[in-house]
């Protein structure tokens, strides 16, 4: 089963993806790694490449194309990124699409602690980043990444641990696997 996990910065998705992949014995695919690979292939500094991606839609489209191709080529994977579940569903690639949400302030506090930045600065950066991404996703694919109708599971990580979030996802994945085996 493909498990595609999305969420905004600071929601805990990277930590949760690592836990889910370990618990399920699945490969972990980080869309951010694919992005870094693209920058490396083009011999462009990551910060510059990030800015280029905001102006050049071919970068996002190539990133998304590679992620979908990788997902199509494997089944037992956990994919972490901003749009994996939506893009896989659009492409009719079977997956368990999960969105991890958390309160804006909690997300900013998590990032601020991790990156040693003031919380207020992180809030501003998150808002700018999410607005930029939202506009791009709408323009490229006509989707809102926070539209709940795209997701099979929506988890709020504001007040629960990454371990608890991963347990919810693993439980759902195993239930779907069991149901598919019964029907299959």
CA angle 30, 86, 101 (to 5 degrees): 70
Residue 88 lies in a domain: yes
Residue 176 lies in a domain: no
* DSSP string of the chain, one letter each residue: -EEEEE--TTSSHHHHHHHHHHHHT-EEEEHHHHHHHHHHHTT--HHHHHHHHHH-HHHHHHHHHHHHHHHHH-SSEEEESSSHHHHHHHTT---EEEEEE--HHHHHHHHHHHHT--HHHHHHHHHHHHHHHHHHHHHHHS--TT-GGG-SEEEE-SSS-HHHHHHHHHHHHHHHHHHHHHH-
Could you tell me which of 36, 3, 2, 15 has the C-alpha nearest to residue 157?
15
pLDDT of residue 32: 86
Residue 119 lies in a domain: yes
Residue 15 lies in a domain: yes
Residue 130 lies in a domain: yes
Please give the structure tokens belonging to residue 65: 């194309």
pTM listed for this prediction? 0.90
pLDDT of residue 163: 98
The domain of 131 spans 2-165
Query: How far is it between the farthest Cα atoms of the chain?
Result: 52
pLDDT of residue 34: 93
For the cut 80, the answer to whether the pLDDT of residue 184 exceeds it is no
Residue 58 lies in a domain: yes
How confident is the model over 115-145, as pLDDT tens digits?
999 999 999 999 988 888 888 888 888 998 8
Residue 80 lies in a domain: yes
| CATH for 8 | 3.40.50.300
How confident is the model over 33-75, as pLDDT tens digits?
999 999 999 999 887 888 898 889 899 899 999 999 999 999 8
* Total domains in the fold of the chain: 1
How confident is the model over 70-117, as pLDDT tens digits?
999 998 999 999 899 999 999 999 999 999 999 999 999 999 999 999
Residue 140 lies in a domain: yes
How far apart CA 22 and CA 18 sit, in angstroms, is: 6
Mean pLDDT of the chain: 92
Q: Are the beta carbons of 28 and 77 closer than 8 angstroms?
A: yes
For the cut 80, the answer to whether the pLDDT of residue 183 exceeds it is yes
């Amino acid at each position: 089963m493909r498990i595609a996990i999305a969420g905004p910065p600071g929601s805990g998705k990277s930590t949760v993806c690592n836990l889910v992949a370990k618990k399920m014995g699945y490969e972990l695919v980080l869309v951010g790694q694919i992005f870094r690979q693209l920058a490396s292939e083009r011999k462009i500094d990551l910060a510059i490449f990030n800015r280029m991606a905001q102006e050049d839609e071919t970068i996002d489209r190539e990133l998304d194309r590679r992620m979908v191709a990788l997902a199509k080529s494997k089944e037992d994977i956990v994919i972490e990124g901003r749009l994996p579940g939506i893009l896989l569903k659009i492409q009719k690639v079977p997956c368990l699409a999960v969105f991890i949400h958390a309160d804006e302030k909690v997300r900013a506090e998590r990032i601020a602690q991790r990156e040693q930045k003031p919380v207020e600065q992180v809030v501003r950066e998150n808002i700018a980043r999410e607005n930029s991404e939202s506009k791009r996703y709408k323009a490229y694919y006509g989707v809102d990444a926070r539209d709940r109708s795209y997701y099979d599971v929506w988890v709020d990580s504001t007040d629960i641990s990454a371990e608890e979030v991963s347990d919810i996802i693993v439980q759902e994945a195993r239930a779907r696997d069991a149901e598919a085996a019964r029907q299959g």
